[in-house]
């Protein structure tokens, strides 16, 4: 690790993997896992032993979360040993970029950027971050640090019901789109010409826990100063009061990144 933080170390490994993928090669997840473990310092020996002796396969997503958690706990233990405050060092601020499930205004970058990823004898403790990734849908990391962020062929699993966390009962604003880190599809209360009647049984689960029906669906285009962004799928949900853009769908369908001001 060469005096790097865990986030910096994992980011450097992620860059290597992305460069290999960009050159047309491929790296097995198991090889990446062993590469990460081999680069850990001696104080992670018990952690490495635990991971290597685990009877169940451990994904890179879970390994990342466990390593960040272990780093926090080791920092806390070191501070306790020095008789200082027992509060753990705060997590890297980049990890919180997409953790808040709410609206936001952002700018789009259509270039293929690199993903930033972000012992004792006891097994690793549960990770502190418990949010859902907006790309793969898994718990324990954000879209900024997801291993699948640079893989444009990856398709996130589709949930049984689409989710929107910004829906409320306020007056509708039909001229604006709102970025929603919790939405799993693009949603609009307005019926657009290209949309066809929806005959399925799926509903949209809104932030207050209610389930509202989908009336129409189709694929749309959102003009921006640099390009048109594909909105796929774009669902017509009359009960909503805002047009919502799913961050995860924008990233995966348009090969872009989103930076918040």
The arithmetic mean of pLDDT across residues 49-73, rounded, is: 82
The DSSP secondary-structure symbol of 215 reads -
Question: How far is 14 from 60, CA to CA, in rounded Å?
Answer: 11
pLDDT at 101 over 50: no
**Four-CA torsion 254, 97, 133, 180, nearest 10 degrees:** -60
pLDDT of amino acid 157: 52
Range name among 35-49, 53-67, 97-111, 154-168 with the lowest pLDDT average = 97-111
pLDDT at position 68, please?
83
Segment holding 218, helix H or strand E: strand 216-223
What is the tens place of the pLDDT at every residue in 250-260?
A: 888 888 877 76
Q: What is the pTM of this model?
A: 0.38
- Mean residue pLDDT across the chain: 69
How would you classify the pairing of strands 228-236 and 186-188? parallel
């Amino acid at each position: 690790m060469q005096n790097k933080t865990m986030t910096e170390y994992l980011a450097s490994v992620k860059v290597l993997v992305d460069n290999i993928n960009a050159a047309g090669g491929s790296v097995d997840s198991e090889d990446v896992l062993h590469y990460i473990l081999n680069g850990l310092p001696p104080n992670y020996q018990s952690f490495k032993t635990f991971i290597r002796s685990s009877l169940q396969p451990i994904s890179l997503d879970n390994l990342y979360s466990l390593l960040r958690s272990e780093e926090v706990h080791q920092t806390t233990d070191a501070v306790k040993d020095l008789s200082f405050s027992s509060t753990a060092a705060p997590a890297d601020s980049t990890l919180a970029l997409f953790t808040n499930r709410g609206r936001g205004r952002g700018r789009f970058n259509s270039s293929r950027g690199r993903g930033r990823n972000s012992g004792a004898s006891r097994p690793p403790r549960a990770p502190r971050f418990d949010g859902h990734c907006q790309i793969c849908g898994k718990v324990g990391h954000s879209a900024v640090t997801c291993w699948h962020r640079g893989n444009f062929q990856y398709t996130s699993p589709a949930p049984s019901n689409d989710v929107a966390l910004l829906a409320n009962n306020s007056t509708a604003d039909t001229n604006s789109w709102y970025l929603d880190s919790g939405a799993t599809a693009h949603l609009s209360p307005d019926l657009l010409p290209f949309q066809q009647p929806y005959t399925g049984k799926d509903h949209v689960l809104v932030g207050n826990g209610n389930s509202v029906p989908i009336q129409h669906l189709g694929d749309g285009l959102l003009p921006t100063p640099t390009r048109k962004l594909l909105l796929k799928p774009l669902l017509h949900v009359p009960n909503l009061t805002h047009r919502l853009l799913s961050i995860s769908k924008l990233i995966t369908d348009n090969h872009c990144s989103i930076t918040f001001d």
